[in-house]
Homo-oligomer: A and B are copies of this chain.
């Protein structure tokens, strides 16, 4: 398989982390996340959203969106429950991550990485949204081992990706003990690889 990838992208890291757990081999093609001028040429025919990760399966079919890729490959493995309601709960967290977490915490980190200057009001809006996401996670993880309870799933993989590097976007994790304990628990899973791997 071929993964259109970026070493700094948490969205791509989710896929790399699941593949590491599952021992799935693949090629990586690095895509520029700052200069997007070649995106349409590179991805236009395979992913209308022009986002990465985009994955080309061995049979040539393309699949995109980190949450969809995680769900597809985790299906039938220990990383996705069989129970219909638990699967829906996993999806709830995957959508939470893409709507209420990533647009704030990942984008604030991206601005710093890429040296992009934005108005204070934009930075403040990202900060408010990111703090709300972290508070939601902290409340939920208090008294739970993982997002689904006792079981490590792709919900944890999806939320770990940008949460563990949140300080790179200015979100200190000191006020969130349940998140910090959970981050350690995720990083201790067999087959874990860091975002830099």
Contacts and interface: CB of A to CB of B under 8 A. Distances in A.
Contacts of A66: 95
Contacts of A69: 88
B95 A95 contact: yes
B98 A84 contact: no
Contact of A96 (B49, B91, B102, B139): B49
Interface stretch (A1-9, A16-24, A57-65, A176-184): A57-65
The 5 A-B pairs at the shortest CB distance, nearest first, are namely: A48-B136, A72-B88, A65-B95, A68-B91, A68-B92
Contacts of A63: 85, 88-89, 92
Interface residues of A, number: 35
A81 interface: no
Interface string A94-106: 1110111011000
Nearest to A102: B99
A75 interface: yes
Contact of A91 (B65, B103, B137): B65
Contacts of A68: 88-89, 91-92, 94-95
A95 B67 contact: yes
Given A44-B139, A67-B95, 5 more contacts: A48-B96, A65-B99, A72-B87, A75-B84, A99-B102
A143 to B, nearest CB: 13
Contacts of A84: 72, 75
Contacts of A139: 44, 48
A51 interface: yes
A9 to B, nearest CB: 14
A140 B48 contact: yes
